[in-house]
Structure 1
């Protein structure tokens, strides 16, 4: 440091290898900094002889994290948003919400290094990414930029160290299928999510396990995949009903998909649940206001958002997590869209 030049907090942060908000937190005695980071910053403060300007209160810059969605208009996203922002308010952290520019095409997030550096230069400490596809290059770009990362319901996990928050999707798939089996259904369709989505694959695994446990041979024609959207549910429902031997019930991998399936049933002049039963997954507000109200597997979306934000803050503070993957419990909510198989 040049002689006579007054040290600034930005210079201290740069010498300590931390962000300006982190250096400010140490200076202000905030507790959400790891012991190792705190010791390093305090050492540089002493070496630089840093003294805050007299008469000025040192105020820590606002802590900011990004919350990135592939779809901002779905009830699923809104419930997660509520959980993340409520936890952020409790922790004194601002949450900036954005949408992926290529979400409509379900492509990987881009660009890698430019995006990471832009977030870092704008003072972001980390980001939460929801139901999106991440490349290994992007994950490594976040790590190089010193950005903590948590994903919710990821379509993929480029490496096992990526921290994720989800629900017990396999058990939810088992519960949904066992409910339909218990009502006498044996031809049960599966209107799933994207093939590459780990949550959809887990729900499919639960569906298959429940059929196997009941000694029901799965029919590959009854298993379809699409996006977690109403229009995809409508298309899959139409295909299932067009089969020579259509199902008597459908387990859809999301509420939005289930509502699309229900519309396909109506367009065929059939009724839910008299002619076909339908089960969804999520228990968003759409499930309770549908006609008939949708039987669905509830995943605690608001709690998932809260856990994701709190986990991100732990990573930012340099804490060691007990597990990189957290799953919250699901449970079946029975409403009016399911009934005993006709003639059963």
Structure 2
């Protein structure tokens, strides 16, 4: 971080901006002496404003974390239009590791299916500082990693026994928020299109039902409909089946999809069956991948902060390494999502 003159900022710059002595800044940042709340707030505001706090943390992170084993399922690696969620998460993580000079040792966990013991063995052989595990939240795998007491963080997955640290989107809360928005727009007969996925996908279903309960609505009009999987063609087939069985939408005015991929298939089926969006049926996705901006109409979706998930996982890993001699409980970090409203959903009463 540099100031306007191109010089690197330091503790003296913080002192000048806060109008205090350099020693006061040192005491505030290191907690070495009691400082009044007003002065402490002024120093921290100044340090934050000129980027000094971020600089201190970054330097500490680089010193703590030198190498990680990145364990990923093989289907997350290809870059294609239906894998943008995992690919975006991984690419932002890789860029952050490159920026920090953190060495990555890759390992595919499903070719062949890797046990927790094998994963730990590979991590120790590579002499890494810790493990980052993406998506794979098999109970036995997580148990073996936890038993080895090696620093590890699960990304985009749930450790239901809370044995290791994890970071994931706030799936349940975000799904409730999106469904609540539809209810506020006047929708009452809403479908949640999902598939038999991992627990993270089930949380989205839970949030969908939570919204009905919170609004005092009957669950009889909260329809759970399953596709065979998360690919668009599977969603298309699922909606085709629904339309054929009900000779139309059966009163459904909105479809909340558990993934953007499903929403793409839903929109294709609705168009082919002569349903207009959003005039006849509103559609909402979940993920916030770039393709949603290019659909017709543009897809309303729950946007997941994928660009922050990798950095959050690295921070959890750093904290675990720093406190290696302390028995700490596992942390589950859920990142807030936002609803990105576009043209595929509208107020029911405006029809």
Normalised TM-score (structure 2): 0.70
RMSD: 2.8
2:307 matched to 1:302? yes
* Residue pair 1:283, 1:296 contacting (<8 A) in 2 also: yes
1:165-206 per-residue CA deviation (whole Å, 9 max, x = no partner) reads 0122222112211222222221100012435x3322222222
What CA distance in whole angstroms lies between the structure 2 residues aligned with 1:98 and 1:224?
Answer: 35
Q: Who is 1:212 aligned against?
A: 213
Q: Aligned ranges for residues 1-344 of structure 1 at < 5 Å?
A: 31-32=63-64, 63-69=67-73, 70-72=75-77, 73=79, 74-101=83-110, 109-136=113-140, 138-143=141-146, 145=148, 147-154=150-157, 156-157=158-159, 159-194=161-196, 197-219=198-220, 222-226=223-227, 227-244=229-246, 245-319=250-324, 324-341=331-348, 344=351
C-alpha distance 86-67 of structure 1, shift in aligned 2 (>3 A): farther
1:5-54 per-residue CA deviation (whole Å, 9 max, x = no partner) reads xxxxxxxxxxxxxxxxxxxxxxxxx8428xxxxxxxxxxxxxxxxxxxxx
* Residue pair 2:212, 2:222 contacting (<8 A) in 1 also: no
Structure 1: unaligned runs, 5 residues or longer: 1-29, 34-61, 104-108
- State the Cα distance separating 1:144 from its structure 2 match: 5.0
Q: Pick the structure with more helix per residue.
A: 2
* Residue pair 2:67, 2:130 contacting (<8 A) in 1 also: no
What CA distance in whole angstroms lies between the structure 1 residues aligned with 2:162 and 2:69?
Answer: 22
* Residue pair 1:274, 1:342 contacting (<8 A) in 2 also: no
Normalised TM-score (structure 1): 0.71
* Residue pair 1:152, 1:164 contacting (<8 A) in 2 also: yes
Q: Who is 1:20 aligned against?
A: none
- State the Cα distance separating 1:93 from its structure 2 match: 0.7
- State the Cα distance separating 1:294 from its structure 2 match: 0.7
1:44-65 per-residue CA deviation (whole Å, 9 max, x = no partner) reads xxxxxxxxxxxxxxxxxx6243
- State the Cα distance separating 1:75 from its structure 2 match: 0.8
Q: 3-state DSSP class of the match of 1:219? A: helix
C-alpha distance 322-145 of structure 1, shift in aligned 2 (>3 A): closer
What CA distance in whole angstroms lies between the structure 1 residues aligned with 2:139 and 2:100?
Answer: 30
Q: How many residues align?
A: 279
Q: 3-state DSSP class of the match of 1:142? A: helix
